[in-house]
């Protein structure tokens, strides 16, 4: 017998805030932003290292730039290079500062763009009075630079609180950054939705008790997204279903996600504690018809083997 989800709800459990991760979620900034900045920092330091797509695909799972560099230095790919500096942490910090400078330079050109549907959704949320906030593992300098230059207008002031990597001791998947944001906003986990693009990000938001919408990308497409309230490629709907990883005839993209959709996803999660219903995962007993719920075709990516 299946057990029905019974969250501790109250009348104040209405959607009040949207909390966004930045890199890969708000802005497409990994492949042509952070990865390039790391490589430029290596070159500037006289290091014969280059993070190609395959290497970066693995390292991007590690949240936080310093943590990513530390992981790389500890890997077999650079085994025996501890002699580079008497103080490995100082060496990492030097690379980090160079990388940050190169990333800011790239971002300031406006070359890094918002992901599909993000600008529209931010405008809709602001017009309806929802609180906007950031929960990112990136340094605040990187986050603010992206917000200033990736959008057609300066939306930095739209976010009531910007939680960044330098404000959290523990990086994602630890929930510290999300708990900090909730505290700063003065709201409960049931009063918001989080937006993430990766498994570690989802785990962080979920551990803080926040229902989460995942917009996956090429780096995170094979992550495990179990526990997400909704999993989609982006927020603009079935723009190009034949090119998704699920093959022709199937799509991870539902119709365009707007505020009305978010309210339905949020309400359904609080009522049932499960993903927003689709033809393949509708709640037991729900009538299979062409309701507005059943028009969604979200297919969750498979777990790692």
Query: How confident is the model over 209-235, as pLDDT tens digits?
Result: 999 999 999 999 999 999 999 999 999
Q: Is the pLDDT of residue 162 over 80?
A: yes
**What's the pLDDT at 277?**
72
Give Cα 88 distance to the centre of its chain: 30
Catalytic residue (choose from 23, 28, 139, 253): 23
Instruction: Give me the residues paired with residue 133 across strands.
Output: 19, 161
Indicate where the chain has its CATH 1.10.150.240 domain(s): 30-107
Confidence check: pLDDT of 21 > 90: yes
Distance CA 252, CA 238 (A): 8
Q: What pLDDT was estimated at residue 85?
A: 57
At 134, is the secondary structure helix, strand, or coil?
Answer: strand
Does residue 95 have a pLDDT over 60? yes
46: pLDDT strictly greater than 50: yes
Strands (E), the chain: 17-20, 131-135, 159-163, 192-196, 212-215, 230-232
Higher pLDDT among residues 170 and 243, named by residue = 170
28: Cα separation from own chain's centroid: 10
Q: For residue 29, what are the CA distances in angstroms to 106, 211, 231, 249, 282?
A: 10, 24, 20, 29, 34
Mean pLDDT to the nearest integer, 272-293: 48
Whether the full predicted model's pTM is greater than 0.85, yes or no, is no
Q: Are 215 and 232 in contact (CB under 8 A)?
A: yes
Nearest residue to 273 (alpha-carbon basis) of 206, 222, 219, 218: 206
Other Cβ atoms closer than 10 A to 88: 16
Of 79 and 275, the one with more pLDDT: 275
Q: What is the mean pLDDT of residues 95-101?
A: 96
CATH classification of 17-28+112-272 is 3.20.20.370, yes or no? Answer: no
Predicted confidence band at 285 (pLDDT cuts at 50, 70, 90)? very low
CB 17 within 8 A of CB 131: yes
Residue 155, pLDDT score: 95
Residue 220's pLDDT is what?
A: 94
Q: Does an H or E element contain 207, and which?
A: helix 199-207
* The pLDDT of residue 50 is above 80: yes
Q: Could you give the residue range(s) of every CATH 3.40.50.1000 domain in the chain?
A: 17-28+112-272
Tell me how far apart the terminal alpha carbons of the chain are, to the nearest angstrom: 29
Tell me the average pLDDT across 191-200: 97
Question: What's the confidence (pLDDT) of residue 247?
Answer: 33
Q: Which of 13, 21, 28, 79 is catalytic?
A: 21
Q: Is 74 a catalytic residue?
A: no
Exposure string for 123-161, b = 16+ CB within 10 A, e = fewer: eebeeeebbbbbbbbbbeebbbbbbebbbeeebeebbeb
Higher pLDDT, 281 or 217: 217
pLDDT band at 89 (very low <50, low <70, confident <90, very high): confident
- Per-residue pLDDT band for 166 (boundaries 50, 70, 90) equals confident
Say whether 23 is catalytic: yes
Question: Sorting pLDDT into bands at 50, 70 and 90, what band is 279?
Answer: very low
User: Per CATH, is 30-107 categorized as 2.60.120.430?
Assistant: no
């Amino acid at each position: 017998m299946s057990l029905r989800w019974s969250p501790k709800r109250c009348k104040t459990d209405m959607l009040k805030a949207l909390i966004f991760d930045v890199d890969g979620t708000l802005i497409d900034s990994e492949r042509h932003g952070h990865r390039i900045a790391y490589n430029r920092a290596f070159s500037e330091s006289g290091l014969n290292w280059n993070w190609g797509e395959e290497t970066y695909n693995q390292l991007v799972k590690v949240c936080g730039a310093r943590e990513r560099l530390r992981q790389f230095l500890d890997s077999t790919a650079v085994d025996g290079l501890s002699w580079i500096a008497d103080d490995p942490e100082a060496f990492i910090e030097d690379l980090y500062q160079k990388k940050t400078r190169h990333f800011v330079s790239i971002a300031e050109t406006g070359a890094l763009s918002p992901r599909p549907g993000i600008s529209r959704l931010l405008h809709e949320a602001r017009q309806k009075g929802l609180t906007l906030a950031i929960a990112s593992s990136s340094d605040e300098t990187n986050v603010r630079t992206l917000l200033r230059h990736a959008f057609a207008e300066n939306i930095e002031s739209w976010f009531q609180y910007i939680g960044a990597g330098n404000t959290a001791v523990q990086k994602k998947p630890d929930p510290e950054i999300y708990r900090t944001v909730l505290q700063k906003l003065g709201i409960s986990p049931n009063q918001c939705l989080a937006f993430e693009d990766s498994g570690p990000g989802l785990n962080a938001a979920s551990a803080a008790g926040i229902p989460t919408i995942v917009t996956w990308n090429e780096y995170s497409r094979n992550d495990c997204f179990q526990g997400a309230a909704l999993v989609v490629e982006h927020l603009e709907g079935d723009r190009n279903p034949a090119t998704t990883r699920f093959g022709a005839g199937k799509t991870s993209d539902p119709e365009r996600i707007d505020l009305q959709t978010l309210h339905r996803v949020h309400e359904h999660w609080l009522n049932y504690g499960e993903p927003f219903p689709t033809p393949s995962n509708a709640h037991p007993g729900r009538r299979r018809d062409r309701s507005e719920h059943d028009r969604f075709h979200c297919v969750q990516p498979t777990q790692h083997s």
